[in-house]
Structure 1
Amino acid sequence: MYDLMRKLPIGIQTFEDIRRKNYLYVDKTALVWRMANMGKPYFLSRPRRFGKSLLLSTFESYFLGKKELFEGLAIEKMETEWKEYPVLHIDLNAEKYDKPEKLNEILSNHLTQWELKYGKGIDERTLSSRFGGVIRRACEQTGQQVVVLVDEYDKPLLQAINNLELLDDYRQTLKAFYGVLKSADRYLRFVFLTGVTKFSQVSVFSDLNQLNDISMKPPYATVCGITRQELVDTFTPELKNLSEANQLTFEETLQKMTATYDGYHFCEFAEGVFNPFSVLNSFDGCKFDSYWFQTGTPTFLVELLQKSEYDLRTLLSGIEVPVSSFAEYKMDVNNPIPLIYQSGYLTIKDYDREFQNYLLDFPNDEVRYGFMNFLVPFYTPMKNNDQGFYIGKFIQELRTGDYEAFLTRLEAFFAGIPYELNDQTERHYQVIFYLVFKLMGQFTEAEVRSSRGRADAVVKTPKYIYVFEFKLNGTAEEALKQIDEKGYLIPYKVDHREVVKIGVEFSAESRNLSRWLVEIK
């Protein structure tokens, strides 16, 4: 094991702290300079804990002219003037927004601090008039245009997403407040707003329609997150330490890091990035774990899925959609995809140039299995601490060829589903099967399909290949016949492993497996 004394900036979102206290830093300053000098009003949406706050803090240090913090970084060779500008930095992240006055209070608090420095007009009574007055006076008093940085602009909206009255109140407040940034344009040097979502049909930005939304533009795709090259260039000692701790080669560690934490694509033409929070924590803990997923349980997303009656099998297998259906969050209970994408649980995996459709899927194994594990208690009798036991037993039984024990355990599993969880529709049963087999894929080669072109599920172990077909109110004989007639076994004809066909009857009346037949090829 390497004796590492290098400091990892876990949870540190202040650029000045990182630089003065000698924390490791992935150099994004070339992009910072480009944005600062090629445009003025920007908007960026990225998932939580993806480096948005650190990015804004970097801009703040740059516009305050703190040249010494940028020594040795790319921007040092690009910037020649290092002017100091007045910076108004608004952070909406650290408040619980459960009442209308909460948003007013935090905005007013920011304004009061700035007014102590730049003064207040006697006729400025509303939040928007006070904001406009501060911007104008800051520019007039310093002789420099003003920089406005807004961190997590949408935090109040997200917290009020299930309270339409409160959501509308916040929308009206923020619409007026952010609208000032358009009327005050002549006093502004640079504006940058960040958040998790880009809201549509709620008009938050209707008075600020000149924003340059860089969320899906290729030149800015890697402004947050860590590229593979940055990972190797910045963290090779940490990668070697992780390799030794887990008894892997350096290349195996890179592959494991890629499968677990890479895969976020914010543009169809750009390279993917690693989740920075998970990367740093894996180095710190010397193991692979679900660090990002564990920091925030997406309960509101599950509630949205349940309200929408969205077919989870489609979501869990990757979904093809036009950009209009996921790039902006619309208040549409029947389409949860935009919020799931913008929250970081789905990402762009492919693009059909002819029809201009995007394939959205889980970015990596951390999110894939974290999301499915989180879903399980909402759809099945399994609690979080039961999942490892159930899935482990299922896999052990199939590995040893004990398919009877597997099916008996699956029968007991369905018997434990509370009635209120089960709407007795075929799709609900299929979703539960789907989740179980998908979770088995963490530990063995398991495929589960929702289409009719393939078997319902295929599980491959070192000695066996199991081909499952489930029939709701059909017979086990019909299930086996379908496996043969549809040619589900053809892909495995030349495989050395024993192929086991399993046809299962599922009774809607008993809400359980009622009978099964097995044939060995």
Structure 2
Amino acid sequence: MDPMEYIVPNRKRLPYGMMNFAVIRREDYYYVDKTRFIPMIEQADRFFFFIRPRRFGKSLTLNVLQHYYDVRTRDKFNDLFGDLYIGKHPTANRNSYLVLYLNFSGITGELNDYRKGLDAHCSITFMNFCKIYADLLPPETLEELRQVNGAVEQLDYLYQACERAGQKMYLFIDEYDHFTNAILSDAESLHRYTDETHGEGYLRAFFNKVKAGTYSSIERCFITGVSPVTMDDLTSGFNIGTNYSLTPQFNQMMGFTEEEVREMLTYYSTNSPFHHTVDELIEIMKPWYDNYCFAQDCYGETTMYNSNMVLYFVKNYIDNGKAPREMIEDNIRIDYEKLRMLIRKDKEFAHDASVIQTLVSQGYITGELKKGFPAVNITNPDN
């Protein structure tokens, strides 16, 4: 059969692996509308912490919020949000912030020298911030920022410049726990981790500076990561953040509900060669991608599908007419190192309480969902 037959001119493309909301909307990709959560985030505390596993749509969520709040995207509001929930029910705060977005996962450098990496990433980001908002900041801002050394002092300078100009800042930090995750997958580094997150560590100093900024022009923060480990260590210095990771009202903010997956499959079944019913496909996907539940109160009601895995599956199915041979995509496998470390820890500290042995022998395990814990307690089986 001619593969050209399968190129359907008006079929929405799948945003597999995409994190840029503007491109998804501009080029008519399939988008699962999560914007109903925006007013709920506004009603929540101003300093919002949210933990989810990898590939769950955290970066895209941040990108949606950036486009919604940025003063520079005001004239694109209808194109981006017009037919979405928030386009029909906008809030008073839309497009009213200078947006500062830091992505710690992009920071390079050896573990023992990540200060250099943090400084470099922040310096580039801060300078870019000064350039794009030049007409809203005092004229000398960029020049003066260049005279200041290091991420901590530069952040200090920047939020004060915004304050002088009467501007409000919205700070986004993606993968705030990137350093600690890297350190935790290397068993030797635990003490170095402790040095950085306790006492006078640089990372802690940075978060203390963020805290200071919240008394000034940093009006809102949205911070995400994958592990509740650092939280405890860093946030005693940053005790203004509220952790919403386990709250029922935000359980469905990232990831797809079964209803959303069915809707997507139904849409593609009308314009692509499907050899299964939607029910049959759900049955194939469910054991692999479903059953995430992050709020105890939602248990037994709505479980979530990993959004990235669903897109991976549907894309493969449309391209090849069958389920992918590898149900787990390669990108997820990079976390195996960290799992190995935890397995070693499990063995080392288990004695009679090995989590893995229990899993093997009875097929399931129960534990308590923990909001956060210091790294040194990682050896507690419940954590």
Residue aligning to 1:154: 177
Deviation of 1:205 after TM superposition, in Å, equals 1.3
CA contact (8 A) 2:122 2:151 kept: no
Structure-2 change in CA distance of 1:296 and 1:136 (3 Å): farther
Q: Which ranges of structure 1 fall in alignment gaps of 5 or more residues? A: 339-521
Residue aligning to 2:154: 130
Q: How big is each residue's C-alpha offset from its partner over 1:278-330, in whole Å with a ceiling of 9 and x where there is no partner?
A: 11011111114423465324122123212331432313422222345x75353
Amino acid at match of 1:276: S
Deviation of 1:331 after TM superposition, in Å, equals 2.2
- Does residue 330 of structure 2 align to residue 318 of structure 1? no
Residue aligning to 1:308: 346
Residue aligning to 1:74: 85
Aligned residues: 334
- Does residue 127 of structure 2 align to residue 90 of structure 1? no
Residue aligning to 1:480: none
> 1-side partners of 2:241 and 2:156: how far apart?
18
> 1-side partners of 2:241 and 2:261: how far apart?
31
Deviation of 1:37 after TM superposition, in Å, equals 4.6
- TM-score between both structures, scaled by the size of structure 2: 0.78
- Does residue 252 of structure 2 align to residue 222 of structure 1? yes
> 2-side partners of 1:237 and 1:2: how far apart?
15
> 2-side partners of 1:322 and 1:222: how far apart?
20
> 2-side partners of 1:2 and 1:112: how far apart?
44
CA contact (8 A) 2:47 2:220 kept: yes
Map of 1:498-509 to 2, 5 A cutoff?
A: none
Structure-2 change in CA distance of 1:125 and 1:336 (3 Å): farther
Moved more, 282-291 or 5-14: 282-291
CA contact (8 A) 1:199 1:329 kept: yes
Q: How big is each residue's C-alpha offset from its partner over 1:28-59, in whole Å with a ceiling of 9 and x where there is no partner?
A: 11102321354310000101111110011111
Moved over 6 A (4+): 240-243
Amino acid at match of 2:224: T
> 1-side partners of 2:212 and 2:122: how far apart?
20
Deviation of 1:231 after TM superposition, in Å, equals 1.6
Amino acid at match of 1:257: M
CA contact (8 A) 1:239 1:283 kept: no
Residue aligning to 1:388: none
Where 2:305 maps in the other structure, the secondary structure is coil
Q: Which ranges of structure 2 fall in alignment gaps of 5 or more residues? A: 131-140, 318-322
Structure-2 change in CA distance of 1:154 and 1:250 (3 Å): same
Deviation of 1:175 after TM superposition, in Å, equals 1.1
Amino acid at match of 1:148: L
- Does residue 44 of structure 2 align to residue 13 of structure 1? no
Higher Cα radius of gyration? 1
CA contact (8 A) 1:243 1:250 kept: no
- TM-score between both structures, scaled by the size of structure 1: 0.59
Q: What value does the CA root-mean-square deviation take over the aligned residues?
A: 2.7
Map of 1:119-518 to 2, 5 A cutoff?
A: 119=142, 120=144, 124-141=148-165, 143-161=166-184, 162=187, 163-171=189-197, 172-186=201-215, 187-199=217-229, 203-238=233-268, 244-245=274-275, 248-270=276-298, 271-286=302-317, 287-288=323-324, 289-292=326-329, 295-297=332-334, 298-309=336-347, 310=350, 311=354, 312-316=356-360, 317-324=363-370, 327-328=372-373, 330-332=375-377, 334-335=379-380, 338=383
Q: Which structure is higher in helix share?
A: 2
Structure-2 change in CA distance of 1:243 and 1:209 (3 Å): farther
Amino acid at match of 2:359: L
Match of 2:69 among 63, 67, 74: 63
Deviation of 1:165 after TM superposition, in Å, equals 4.3
CA contact (8 A) 1:9 1:23 kept: yes
Deviation of 1:201 after TM superposition, in Å, equals 8.5
Amino acid at match of 1:114: F
Deviation of 1:9 after TM superposition, in Å, equals 0.6
> 1-side partners of 2:109 and 2:327: how far apart?
28
> 1-side partners of 2:45 and 2:377: how far apart?
33
Moved more, 220-229 or 115-124: 115-124
Amino acid at match of 1:183: A
Structure-2 change in CA distance of 1:42 and 1:19 (3 Å): same
Q: Which structure is higher in strand share?
A: 1
CA contact (8 A) 1:226 1:275 kept: yes
